[in-house]
Amino acid sequence: MATLKPGSTDAYSMILDAIDVGTYRPGDRLVESELAERFNVSRTPIREALQRLETQSLLAREGRSLIVASLDHNQTAELYVVRGELEGLAARLAARHATAEEVRVLREMVEADNALIDQPAALSRSNRRFHKQLHLASHNRYLVQQLDLVYRSMALMATTSLAAEGRGEIAQAEHDKIVSMIEARDEDGADAALRAHISVAFVTRLKQEAARLEPEA
């Protein structure tokens, strides 16, 4: 198996981060020369990074162009099923293995994020950090790797469910319950609370999509 050159790896990470933070959204066209200029690297590592992203289905072909891929209804549903299973397991393992310090950090994150309830974009970024911290608290590297792949695909969704009216406050209450279960070392409770959190997020996203597709009167 060929080893990726360092420059290619860096270009890959930079493009992936740009997709993750919304610099490039689903449907946006990615051009080698523009990316090379933006990231101040040569076109060769950019080309290799784009090929890698296409192989991972994060980019799609549209004629001769590469665009940021998007997820259809079935792909979104499948992603949420996997996310619920894996994150539920992460919460269960966090309740079992997280150190006192890790639990305290999760609690402090929830408290700090309460100030972002009316700022969907900022809350979305902080939400990813919270979930990543929870994944790490599972102390299972293979699970963390799989969840990284799931969250990479989540970046292909055009909007955040946290933009829905009232969702920020509800999500924060759900995070509070998840952390409470972890603090109590309640593995079943943590698993159930996390799964419920993902289920509500999925329902919210389905409603957002239905509203988007609703024809104008």
CA distances from 11 to 8, 24, 55 (A): 5, 15, 15
Q: How far apart are CA 171 and CA 123, in angstroms?
A: 10
Q: What is the pLDDT of residue 114?
A: 93
Q: Which residue has the higher pLDDT, 182 or 167?
A: 182
Is pLDDT above 60 for 67? yes
Asked if residue 174 is part of any domain, the answer here is: yes
Per the structure, the count of domains in the chain is 2
Q: Of 24, 45, 68, which closes a domain?
A: 68
Residue 4: pLDDT band with limits 50, 70, 90: very low
CA distances from 48 to 11, 22, 56, 61, 124 (A): 8, 21, 13, 15, 30
Q: What average pLDDT does the segment 131-136 reach?
A: 97
- Given a contact cutoff of 8 angstroms between Cβ atoms, the answer to whether 59 and 156 are in contact is no
Q: What average pLDDT does the segment 56-85 reach?
A: 91
- Residues 207, 136: one domain? yes
* End-to-end Cα spacing for the chain: 56
- Given a contact cutoff of 8 angstroms between Cβ atoms, the answer to whether 149 and 65 are in contact is no
- Residues 191, 105: one domain? yes
Q: Of 68, 85, 106, which closes a domain?
A: 68
- Residues 115, 167: one domain? yes
Helices (H), 114-166: 120-137, 141-154
Q: What is the pLDDT of residue 22?
A: 77
Asked if residue 1 is part of any domain, the answer here is: no
Q: 61 lies in which domain range? A: 6-68
CATH number at residue 28: 1.10.10.10
Asked if residue 124 is part of any domain, the answer here is: yes
Q: What average pLDDT does the segment 47-60 reach?
A: 92
Q: Is 31 helix (H, G, I), strand (E, B) or coil?
A: coil
- Residues 91, 51: one domain? no
Q: pLDDT over 70 for what percent of the chain? A: 93
- Residues 155, 78: one domain? yes
- Residues 38, 97: one domain? no
- Residues 64, 77: one domain? no
Q: What is the pLDDT of residue 86?
A: 98
- Residues 85, 51: one domain? no
Residue 9: pLDDT band with limits 50, 70, 90: low
Asked if residue 30 is part of any domain, the answer here is: yes
Q: Where are the beta strands (DSSP E) in 31-112?
A: 59-62, 65-68
Give the angle subtended at the CA of 153 by the CAs of 151 and 157, to the nearest 5°.
105
- Residues 143, 206: one domain? yes
Is pLDDT above 70 for 119? yes
Residue 192: pLDDT band with limits 50, 70, 90: very high
Residue 172: pLDDT band with limits 50, 70, 90: very high
Asked if residue 17 is part of any domain, the answer here is: yes
Q: What average pLDDT does the segment 87-97 reach?
A: 98
Q: Of 20, 36, 68, which closes a domain?
A: 68
CATH number at residue 194: 1.20.120.530
- Residues 116, 47: one domain? no
Is pLDDT above 50 for 56? yes
Q: What is the pLDDT of residue 108?
A: 98
- Residues 141, 35: one domain? no
Instruction: Please report how many Cα atoms fall inside a 13 Å half-sphere around the Cα of residue 80, on the Cβ side.
Output: 20
- Residues 27, 120: one domain? no
